[in-house]
Structure 1
């Protein structure tokens, strides 16, 4: 699940970072604002949900002034509109071609995550009667999964961008296994360690290109990741440390993440998502993992 969450995050952020000019904080704040706006039915008599800067700061455990500054920037740029109760994502912006394409990618990355979990033998939660599925529930699930990763990793990765770079390195290290569904299933339960030739290290420059971040920014985070053993250097390339992944603290974080993901899958199923055959839910197609070559 750690590998698949890394793929989900890398796939989504590799596009989101380009939309929001390299600002991870702003991406995360907008995602939380958008979560309750996207999929709103204009025929509904109730207004779409708004959220205050105070609520955003509390939800994300970020300083209020930092969140307020980003909210003001999102409003000034037209990404959000302000109302008496807070801010919400701009309906016009959500309908722009580039954002529609991004939301389709986000939805289909979440579908891929669920489909790959099922392929690797993870049992899906059983749900009772479900409402008809709307793809907005899939977009909301993708946002919730990414926010859950941020929250559960708060102690192990204090800096959000370090978590992003770490996950991207892990995604790159796992790309050969991810590309082969037979290998993905073989190594899914963690009992067997993949041989080194199936876990290629990756250059810092390739991580920066995949994410669309300046290489100097990524190098600073890589230095911090290597300093405390989260990432190892193999010559000029990088590999996530298996020793670090197997620490009790890391395993506890993964266990917490899995429990949250199970709850999110149950909610997704209750919203009509076809857990018995996830691939039926793609809006476009199964998205590719970003290239690292």
Structure 2
């Protein structure tokens, strides 16, 4: 195992790169399940968060969540959320209960959603394993309950929602955040796979040279997310317009200057603190923080190809 990285300054750039990989891996699949509708993906994720694992012994069935609570949690207009909830219920993805809506257990048992929940779980395991591989110390936890994979699925959803929440001020548009994160995922492929490079460029004080940040075409980002290229181009224009992303010929790279702005650093620092809390909770739920790779349900997910 590598020597642990110090947490002061915290390895915020390493975490941001790995979070972008986590988000891109999950959304590349989820966006296709919901015909490219990011709002519906996010609302369904929050609805299903507490449904996973309710069948465990001693766990009560899901009570549901109201559209008002969903709107408040996601900072989305109530009417927008209510429209998506109606659509999810009409399509059979969700069921209404006395306290609101919850994901349909029958739908979650469908092979395609079992495969998706397995992917979410294993992407979260990969995230934790890569942090540990780079030398980031895991939170210390006391006694833990026996691990159930539903805790890993919930952790993946929580990390995704935490990214959305903490980036709300710097990325006002959800889809712009997703496109930005996907570009950063593509730019980070070389750094994420090399232990020494992950550690060298962990905290953002050293900027990786251009040859370690492969740029990506807009068309490749659109293919990865299963979105129309015209939709992605509009978001890219906005990202380039305010300096979040730079053009290198016909390809794109996230701006290191923008990543080092005070508000960007504050956002990443906040995200890091939230992720540490989520990791501690995951450990308390029995996840093997000392050897994360033991927790894979299927296998380590492959990184998306952008070429």
Q: TM-score, normalised by structure 1?
A: 0.97
> Residues 119 and 185 of structure 1 are in contact (CA less than 8 Å); yes or no, is this contact kept in structure 2?
no
Match of 1:61 in 2: 75
CA distance in 2, matches of 1:269, 1:116: 16
CA distance in 1, matches of 2:258, 2:291: 35
Residues matched between the structures, number: 293
CA distance in 2, matches of 1:215, 1:154: 24
Among 88, 98, 104, the alignment partner of 1:74 is: 88
What are the within-5 Å matches in structure 2 for residues 184-223 of structure 1? Answer: 184-223=198-237
1:35 has 2:49 as partner? yes
CA distance in 2, matches of 1:265, 1:156: 24
1:109 has 2:123 as partner? yes
CA RMSD of aligned residues (A): 1.2
CA distance in 2, matches of 1:290, 1:178: 13
What are the within-5 Å matches in structure 2 for residues 229-248 of structure 1? Answer: 229-248=243-262
By how many angstroms is 1:188 displaced?
2.3
> Residues 63 and 98 of structure 2 are in contact (CA less than 8 Å); yes or no, is this contact kept in structure 1?
no
By how many angstroms is 1:44 displaced?
4.2
Match of 2:293 in 1: 279
CA distance in 2, matches of 1:31, 1:54: 16
Task: Please list every run of 5 or more consecutive structure 1 residues that lacks an aligned counterpart in the other structure.
Answer: none
What are the within-5 Å matches in structure 2 for residues 138-157 of structure 1? Answer: 138-157=152-171
CA distance in 2, matches of 1:220, 1:240: 16
By how many angstroms is 1:45 displaced?
7.0
CA distance in 2, matches of 1:45, 1:14: 31
Match of 1:136 in 2: 150
CA distance in 2, matches of 1:159, 1:218: 13
CA distance in 1, matches of 2:286, 2:51: 19
1:12 has 2:47 as partner? no
CA distance in 1, matches of 2:88, 2:100: 13
Match of 2:4 in 1: none
> Residues 166 and 231 of structure 1 are in contact (CA less than 8 Å); yes or no, is this contact kept in structure 2?
yes
Q: Which moved more, 1:189-198 or 1:18-27?
A: 189-198
Structure 1 runs (4+) deviating above 6 angstroms are none
CA distance in 2, matches of 1:178, 1:211: 20
Match of 1:180 in 2: 194
Match of 1:98 in 2: 112
Task: Please list every run of 5 or more consecutive structure 2 residues that lacks an aligned counterpart in the other structure.
Answer: 1-14
